Amino acid sequence: MDLDNVLHKDNQKLYSDVPPTKLRNKDEKFRKAGNAPFWMWVADMFFYNMLENRFFSLKIKNEENYNKRNPDFANIIYAPHNNWWDGIVGYNLCRRVFKTKLRMMIEEMNRFPILAKAGAFPVNKKSAQASMQALKYSVEQLCDKDISLWLFPQGIIRPPMYRPIEFQTGMAYIAKNVVKKAGGINLIPVAVNYPFLREDKPEVLCEVGEPITITDPNFDRKELTHRLEKEFEMLCDKQFYDITHGNIDGYEYLYKQKLKWYKKLEKRLKRIDMPPGSGV
C-alpha cells in the first residue's frame, strides 16, 4: 500500500463527509430549547470552567462589530467547525460577550439531552426531511429579536484551515424564512483560531466580522450562500495571516490565566544576568 492511500485512510478516520446521525441512521427525539435559570447557571459554570482550564486565554477582536447589527432583528452568528471546542467557545461568546439569549443546533444531542435546558436543540441529518424539523424550529425561534442562533454552516467538522470553505444551504433557508416572518435577520461571522502564543497552553482568538442585515426575502439562496462562503473565507484567512505574522493587535482579553509557578520562575531566571562563558 502506498503512502497516499495510507494518508487517505487516516484522513477518513479523522474527518468524514457523512454526518454522524446519517451514519447511525436512527430516529432521535426532538427536544425544544429552553433557558431555565438554574440550568443556565449550571451551564455557565461548567462551560466557563472547561474553557478556562484548557486554554491560557480567550481574546476577542472587533467586538464592536456585533453592535453594528440591527437590534430590531434576531441574529445568526456563524463560525468554522474544526474541533470539539467550537461549541464551548460559541457558548462563552454568546453568554459572556454578546449577552444574548442563545440557541445552538447540535447533532447527536440525544446523547446529552440536558443541553436542551441551556439553549440547545438537536438536528438529525440522516435525511433532508429529518433535518427540516431543526431548520423550521430555528426559523420559529429567530422570530424573537432577542435570540441568537450560533451556527456552523459547514454542517460538519472539517480540518483546521480546510479550503475552500463550503456552506450547506441551511443558513440561507433559515435567513430567508425569518425575513419573511419577522422582517429581517442579522448574519454575523466569527473567525476562530486556537494557536500557541508563547504560553504553555493554547489560546482562543475570535475575530468578529462585519454583520450583514437582510430585510428583503427575494434573494437566491445559492447566491447568498456562495457570497457568504467567500467573505467568510477572506475573514478566516486574514485572521490566520495575522497570527502567522505575530500580529495580534486589537485583541482584548475575555479572560487570562494567572501565571503558574514555573512560568513565574522562568521570568525571574530571565532577569538574571549570567556571566560570560557560563554556557547558559
Q: Return the pLDDT at 7.
A: 45
Grid coordinates 556571566 are at which residue? 275
CB 199 within 8 A of CB 247: no
What angle (nearest 5°) sits at the alpha carbon of residue 179, between those of residues 176 and 182? 145
Q: Rounded to an integer, what distance in angstroms lies between the CA atom of residue 100 and that of residue 106?
A: 18
pTM of the model: 0.88
Could you tell me the fold of the domain covering 17-270? Glycerol-3-phosphate (1)-acyltransferase (3.40.1130)
For 206-256, how does the pLDDT look when each residue is reduced to its tens digit (9 = 90+)?
999 999 999 999 999 999 999 999 999 999 999 999 999 999 999 999 999
Q: Please report, for the chain, the start and end positions of each structural domain, with discontinuous segments joined by +.
A: 17-270
Helix%, strand%, coil% for the chain, nearest 5: 45, 20, 40
Give the pairing of strands 147-151 and 203-208: unpaired
End-to-end CA distance of the chain: 48
Q: Return the pLDDT at 267.
A: 65
Q: Return the pLDDT at 62.
A: 98
State the DSSP code for 257.
P
Q: Rounded to an integer, what distance in angstroms lies between the CA atom of residue 142 and that of residue 102?
A: 10
Which spans in the chain are helix H?
3-14, 20-24, 37-54, 86-92, 128-141, 170-182, 221-244, 261-270
From residue 31, alpha-carbon distances to 20, 44, 112, 113, 122 in Å are 18, 20, 11, 8, 7
For 71-101, how does the pLDDT look when each residue is reduced to its tens digit (9 = 90+)?
999 999 999 999 999 999 999 999 999 999 9
| Res. 31: pLDDT tops 80 | yes
As a whole number, mean pLDDT of residues 176-184 equals 98
Nearest residue to 47 via CA among 115, 121, 123, 122: 115
> Rounded to the nearest 5°, which phi and psi values hold at 33?
-80, 145
| Dihedral of alpha carbons 217, 218, 222, 227, sign | negative
As a whole number, mean pLDDT of residues 20-38 equals 85
